[in-house]
Structure 1
Amino acid sequence: MPATPIYDLVVSLIPKGLASQVPVNLLAWEAGKTPLSTFPALVTAIATYLAVIFGGRELMRNRPAFTTSLKWPFLLHNLALTFGSGLLLVLMLEEIIPIWSRNGFYYAICGEGAWTMRLETFYIINYYFKYWELIDTVFLVLKKKPLAFLHVYHHSATAALCFSQLHGKTSVSWVVICLNLAVHVLMYFYYALTSLKIRCPWKRSVTTAQITQFVIDLFIVYFASYNYFAYTYFPNVPHYGTCAGKEHAAFSGMGCLTSYLFLFIAFYQKTYSKDKAKKAAAAKANQKLTNGSSNGHAKAK
């Protein structure tokens, strides 16, 4: 068995009495027994989220925005997600790296043995993180910030994506989740710093990291899916072998991640081309002011 010092440390910090009382359906995915493990439960959760944020927006329409009163809750929310995402990332890497080094990368993304019991527990925790992250939108509503389609869609769809992969048991899941957790460490730490009014010059880097994440995700997910479908339906086509997971999970993964990539690219272009245009306009105005001042001095002489 490979050494897992981080996992062992985390487990040692949990009181033995409490650890023994954790239900099995919180450690292993059992449809109908694990919380939020059925399609009706998923739909209800997402519908509730949409009702809360859009209903909340209407309730806030004629009310003043919450500002200073949300500073500390917002900071704690972001710091907790920064730490939680980082810890879960380390735990998952500690589990998957030995599998990768022992059996190779293809096995790590496609072998049935790459879907371990411990990874399944981590995937469930990550799935519940997606519901926790819905609070991001609640803060936007209370602050009377715009509800962008990308934000609402991304938060809703990611919960559905995690649900489909747990049902489909796709071994490649760890790639998408690990990259997402890494980006979230960067993103939520950025939000935490901005809540403290600390200037962060790497806002664009967060969006760039998100786009890079989806490019890598899609390359690996499409590669894994290609091998599954080639092995299953077109055995004469060159391929490495089959890939673990259900077909519905492959389609939902490819479709969802592809939509993310295009939406985030559009967001990047819209946001940063606008910023660039504003800076150019400001520079032009300053230049005119400088030139006008210079001409004034010249005339005065």
Structure 2
Amino acid sequence: MPLALQEYEFERQFNEDEAIRWMQENWKKSFLFCSLYAACIIGGRHLMKQREKFELRKPLVLWSLTLAVFSIFGAVRTGSYMMHILLTKGLQHSVCDQSFYNGPVSKFWAYAFVLSKAPELGDTLFIVLRKQRLIFLHWYHHITVLLYSWYSYKDMVAGGGWFMTMNYLVHALMYSYYAARAAGFRVSRRLAMFITLTQISQMVVGCVVNYLVYSWMQRGAGCPSHVHNIVWSSLMYLSYFLLFLHFFYEAYVGKNKPPASASTVTATTITTTTTDAKKSQ
């Protein structure tokens, strides 16, 4: 096994069968989390209406840095695994094979990815408590990625390896950027534009992967998925693509638009799907 795919003990000892079984039995709890999330947004904004905003700079730095480190490790480990499969076994195998969910290197990070979509809802808490603008894309993305990633992990659907790896990578960039901004460092606005462009690119690749899964599944090429899963995933990625494209235009292209703030960029995070679908995405 190449050095890049050397296993660590915690990865080797992870019981993916138990994790998949738990998700099959409990994935519907994601609806409960999303309902509580929506209630907290409504209630929190109501409570903050008559209150002064909280600064929360230090907690925000710690929060963003923690998610950045987690995403960086996830991106390195899953990215190394996916590149190894792609270079040694080809594109179709990297998309269709379910080994990402039970492979020695990736199985831990696949489960960590889907579970992380629940605590990532905490991003919104900072926006509400700091009385910043909460855009539709932010909470829509958080809810749909959580629902789709939990729903899809239980079935070990094809394409998940690419969805999760892309989301890990985008989140590594985005949370690192936001941690730096929250800590007071001056970061080039071009970096914010680049991050949004990588998010848009992620949606395009997600749609392409869904097309490949459907095409190979129809040919009986051993690409395990379900038509309804592909449909929901494609609609989700397409909606993200349009929303991120609109955000990019509003933030960076439209006339007389103020520069996008760090909080606005963070609000457009997308994680994948798993995915992600997301995470996502």
Mapped to 2, the partners of 1:262 and 1:53 lie a distance apart of 24
Mapped to 2, the partners of 1:244 and 1:252 lie a distance apart of 16
Mapped to 1, the partners of 2:16 and 2:11 lie a distance apart of 18
Mapped to 2, the partners of 1:10 and 1:106 lie a distance apart of 29
| TM norm structure 1 | 0.76
Mapped to 2, the partners of 1:36 and 1:75 lie a distance apart of 35
1:9 CA drift (Å): 6.7
Mapped to 2, the partners of 1:203 and 1:112 lie a distance apart of 34
Structure 1 residues 243, 11: closer, same or farther in 2, change over 3 A?
A: closer
Mapped to 2, the partners of 1:204 and 1:102 lie a distance apart of 34
Mapped to 1, the partners of 2:65 and 2:151 lie a distance apart of 28
1:271 and 2:259 matched: no
Aligned twin of 1:288: none
Aligned twin of 2:276: none
Structure 1 residues 198, 6: closer, same or farther in 2, change over 3 A?
A: farther
- Residue 169 of structure 1 aligns to a residue whose secondary structure is coil
- Residue 133 of structure 1 aligns to a residue whose secondary structure is helix
Q: Which letter does structure 2 place at the counterpart of 1:206?
A: I
Aligned twin of 2:53: 65
- List per-residue Cα deviations over 1:118-171 (Å, max 9, x = no partner): 434322210111112111100000001122111010011111121122123123
Is the 8 Å Cα contact of residues 115 and 170 (structure 1) preserved in structure 2? no
Structure 1 residues 140, 36: closer, same or farther in 2, change over 3 A?
A: farther
Structure 1 residues 6, 48: closer, same or farther in 2, change over 3 A?
A: farther
Aligned twin of 1:91: 77
Q: Which letter does structure 1 place at the counterpart of 2:19?
A: A
Report the structure, 1 or 2, having the larger helix content: 1
Is the 8 Å Cα contact of residues 71 and 195 (structure 1) preserved in structure 2? yes
1:224 and 2:213 matched: yes
Structure 1 residues 190, 114: closer, same or farther in 2, change over 3 A?
A: closer
Mapped to 2, the partners of 1:113 and 1:212 lie a distance apart of 25
Q: Which runs of no fewer than 5 residues in structure 1 stay unpaired? A: 13-18, 233-240, 280-301
Aligned-residue CA RMSD in angstroms?
Answer: 2.5
1:55 and 2:62 matched: no
Q: Which letter does structure 2 place at the counterpart of 1:8?
A: Y
Structure 1 residues 259, 60: closer, same or farther in 2, change over 3 A?
A: same
Structure 1 residues 209, 4: closer, same or farther in 2, change over 3 A?
A: closer
Is the 8 Å Cα contact of residues 27 and 151 (structure 2) preserved in structure 1? no
1:47 CA drift (Å): 0.2
Aligned twin of 1:29: 20
| TM norm structure 2 | 0.82
| 1:124-135 map, 5 Å | 124-135=111-122
Identity of aligned residues (%): 25
Q: Which letter does structure 1 place at the counterpart of 2:209?
A: I
Aligned twin of 1:180: 167
Compare CA radii of gyration and give the structure with the larger one: 1
Number of residue pairs aligned between Structure 1 and Structure 2: 255
Mapped to 2, the partners of 1:131 and 1:36 lie a distance apart of 17
Structure 1 residues 25, 105: closer, same or farther in 2, change over 3 A?
A: closer
| 1:1-301 map, 5 Å | 1=1, 3=3, 7-8=7-8, 24=15, 28-30=19-21, 33-34=22-23, 37-39=26-28, 41-67=29-55, 70-113=56-99, 115-118=101-104, 119-201=106-188, 202-228=191-217, 230-231=218-219, 241-274=221-254, 276-278=255-257
Q: Which letter does structure 2 place at the counterpart of 1:80?
A: T
Aligned twin of 1:284: none
Mapped to 2, the partners of 1:130 and 1:144 lie a distance apart of 23
